[in-house]
Each structure stands twice: as C-alpha cells, then as structure tokens.
Amino acid sequence: MAVRKVLIYPDVHLKEICAPVVNFDESVEQLLQDLVDTMVDAGHSVGIAAPQLGNLRRAAVVDVSKSKLGKKQRNHGLLQMINPEIVEKAGSQIVREGCMSVPDYTGNVTRSESIVVQFLDQKQQLKVIRTEGFEAIAIQHELDHLDGLLFLDRVSSLKTDLFRRKK
C-alpha cells in the first residue's frame, strides 16, 4: 500500500472507460488502499479514482469529512467504492471544481444536487447511499473519471468557465 503518482492530463489513460471489477483478489484491496493513501497524501483532495493512478478498473474513494465544505453537511466519511453506479439524480447546480489530474485549472460545471449511488465496499458488501451537497458533487466527479471524463469535459465554455489556479 503506497502513495502513487497521479496521472496528469493529457495522459491517455484519463480518457479511457474503466472495466468493472470482477475478481475480488488482493489487488483490489491494494488498489483501494493506494487510492486512500494517495488522496490523504495530497492534503487537499476529497477523492480520487483508479484511472488517475493508471489502473483501469471501476474503483474510487471519496471522503469529504475533513474538508471545509464537507464539515458543514452530513456525510458518509470514507467511501471505498467498487463498481459504483449512480441510480438516481435530482436537481441541478453549477459548482467550481478542480482535479489532481488537472492541477493548473478549475472550472464551473453542472452537477446534480442530490444522488443515490450503489457500489460494493471494500468487504464486497452492497451499499446504497443517498447524498447531497459537496459529497454528491465529489462522488459525481470521481465516477466521471471511471467513464473517461474530466471536469474539463463538462465545462460549458472554456472561455468563460475555465480558470487558471492562483499559485
């Protein structure tokens, strides 16, 4: 279990659709731990998906509980998600997002206000959770990675909705 190098756009792996996890062997446990370790090591991250580490399996982790926005709302703590799928969406909001794989920019994207997501956890137990606010945004962002999408793909105008990060 280790901190891994995060792939940076335009790495081609970031645009690939990930395959479902079918074999629940030790490598899946290791992948989840590497995702958690890498997210925590970044210091500011609230989520990361397997393709950001060059692993093209449907796995992601999210934990908004330690972030300023996540502390303001009820959340589920550390979510280790295998084969996650959003099964219900409601509402719409425009939010500013950033990404470890696109370190120099943030952008305005449209996300659902609340979602229901189902996934297998690290113990292969089926979980179905309803969430809203910042946690819902973070989950939607990470699940996009599993489908080869970056927040850049959801920015409606690169001219008006993409912003260079301040150093």
Q: Which positions are catalytic?
A: 142
Residue 91 exposure: Cα atoms within 13 Å on the Cβ side: 13
Beta sheet of 102-111, edge-to-edge order: 93-99, 102-111, 162-164
Contacts with 100 (C-beta within 8 Å, 6 or more apart), sequence order: 6, 42, 45, 48, 52
Round to whole Å and give the CA distance between 119 and 33: 17
- The single residue listed with the structure tokens 């998906």 is 49
Phi-psi region of 140 (alpha: psi -120 to 50; beta: other; left: phi over 0): alpha
> Could you tell me the two tokens for 61?
């982790």
